[in-house]
Amino acid sequence: MAVLDREQDIPTLNAVNMVQLHNVTKAYVNQLALSDINLEVKKGEFLFVTGASGSGKSTLLKMLYGEELPTQGEVTVDECNVAQMRGDALSLLRRRIGIVFQDYKLIQQRTVAENVTVVLEAQGYTRKEILRRLEPTLKLVGLRDKANCFPGQLSGGEQQRVGIARAIVSTPPLILADEPTGNLDPDNSWQIIQIFRKLNAFGATVIITTHDEQLVRRCNHRVVQVCNGKLLTKNI
Ligand SMILES: Nc1ncnc2c1ncn2[C@@H]1O[C@H](COP(=O)(O)OP(=O)(O)OP(=O)(O)O)[C@@H](O)[C@H]1O
C-alpha cells in the first residue's frame, strides 16, 4: 500500500459532502495531534482512516461529533459547523451520527435488546416505534436470537454487533467507528466490516479508523492515513 500524496484539495461547501475539514489543526495542552488538515467525505462514501497508535485518528473522529473542538480551522458535518453547535442543536446533530467504539461501551446489567433501545427511549421514541426498529436492527447484525442475553454472555464479536446495533437503530446517515475491530480476530473483524458495508450500501456514510492494514486491503474503499499530524491519501 503506497502513500501517494497529501489530501490538499481545498474543500468547497456543498450538500454533496457529509463531512468537511478545512485547514483543521488540533493541539492538546502538550501535544499537536493534527496539523492543518483538509478532508472531504461525500454522502454515501465509505472511508477508512489508518495510522499508527497516537497519530490522531480518534481525535479526528471526536471532532466530527463535537467531543473535541478544533484549535484552528472548520469542521462541518451535514452542513453544520460543529464548533458552533451548542446544547439542543449539538444533541440533534449527534442524533444523526451513529458512533461505534472499540471497547463496545455496553451496559452490563441490561440485555442486548435494552442496550440497543436505551438511546431511543432517551430520545422519546414511542414503545411501538422502538419495537418496530429493534427487530430488523438485530436481524441485520445477526443477533435476533440473543436479544435477551446480557453482554457478559456474549463473545467479543457479538458484543461489537450490539454496539453497532445501538449506533444504527435510529438510522443515522453518518456512522463513525473508532477501531471497531481492534479487539477482534480476523474472522470476526471481517464479519463486522461486512455489516458496515451493508449499511453503506443502504446509503449511510461510513468512516472507520483502523490499524488493520490487511482488512483495509481486502476492501475496495477510499483510505486516508494520519501521519505526523498530516493526512495522506493512500492507494490500496
Ligand atoms: N485529551 C487529551 N489530552 C492530551 N493529549 C491527548 C488527548 N487525547 C489524545 N491526546 C494525544 O493526541 C495524540 C493523538 O491521540 P489519538 O487518541 O487521536 O490517536 P489515535 O491515532 O486514535 O491512537 P490509537 O490508535 O492508539 O487509539 C496522542 O499523542 C495522544 O496522546
Tell me: the pLDDT tens digits for 179-205? 999 988 899 899 999 999 999 999 999
- Assess contact for 166 and 174: CB atoms under 8 A: no
Residue ID of nearest Cα to ligand 1 atom 1: 28
Question: What sign results for the dihedral spanned by CA atoms 5, 7, 9, 15?
Answer: positive
What is the interface pTM, i.e. ipTM, of the complex? 0.97
Specify the pLDDT at position 228. 87
Q: Is 34 in the pocket of ligand 1 (CB under 6 A)?
A: no
Q: Is 66 in the pocket of ligand 1 (CB under 6 A)?
A: no
Nearest ligand 1 atom, CA 26: 12
Q: Mind listing the pLDDT tens digit for each residue in 7-21?
A: 333 344 446 999 999
Residue ID of nearest Cα to ligand 1 atom 9: 59
Closest CA to 69 of 121, 27, 126: 27
Specify the pLDDT at position 7. 39
Q: Mind listing the pLDDT tens digit for each residue in 145-190?
A: 999 999 999 999 999 999 999 999 999 999 999 999 998 889 989 9
| Burial of 134 from C-beta contacts in 10 A (0-12 / 13-18 / 19+) | buried
Q: Is 55 in the pocket of ligand 1 (CB under 6 A)?
A: yes
Q: Is 229 in the pocket of ligand 1 (CB under 6 A)?
A: no
Ligand 1 centroid to Cα of residue 72, in Å, is: 17
Q: Is 28 in the pocket of ligand 1 (CB under 6 A)?
A: yes
Q: For the chain, what percent of residues have pLDDT higher than 70?
A: 93
Ligand 1 centroid to Cα of residue 14, in Å, is: 30
What residue spans define the domains of the chain?
7-105+173-233
Q: Which residues contact 25 (CB under 8 A, 6 or more apart)?
A: 32, 34, 35, 36, 37, 70, 71, 72, 73
On average, the pLDDT of the chain sits at: 91
Specify the pLDDT at position 89. 93
Residue 85 has pLDDT above 50, yes or no: yes
Nearest ligand 1 atom, CA 102: 27
Specify the pLDDT at position 2. 35
Ligand 1 centroid to Cα of residue 55, in Å, is: 7
How would CATH label the architecture of 7-105+173-233?
3-Layer(aba) Sandwich (3.40)
Q: What is the DSSP string of the chain?
A: -EEEEE--PPP---TTEEEEEEEEEEEETTEEEEEEEEEEEETT-EEEEE--TTSSHHHHHHHHTTSS--SEEEEEETTEEGGG--HHHHHHHHHTEEEEETT----TTS-HHHHHHHHHHHTT--HHHHHHHHHHHHHHTT-GGGTT--GGGS-HHHHHHHHHHHHHTT--SEEEEESTTTTS-HHHHHHHHHHHHHHHHTT-EEEEE-S-HHHHHHS--EEEEEETTEEEEEE-
Ligand 1 centroid to Cα of residue 19, in Å, is: 21
Q: Mind listing the pLDDT tens digit for each residue in 128-149?
A: 999 999 999 999 999 999 999 9
Residue 4 — very low, low, confident or very high, per pLDDT cuts 50/70/90?
Answer: very low
- Give the mean model confidence (pLDDT) for residues 88-113: 95
Q: Is 31 in the pocket of ligand 1 (CB under 6 A)?
A: yes
Ligand 1 centroid to Cα of residue 59, in Å, is: 6
Q: Mind listing the pLDDT tens digit for each residue in 38-58?
A: 999 999 999 999 999 999 999
Residue 1 has pLDDT above 80, yes or no: no
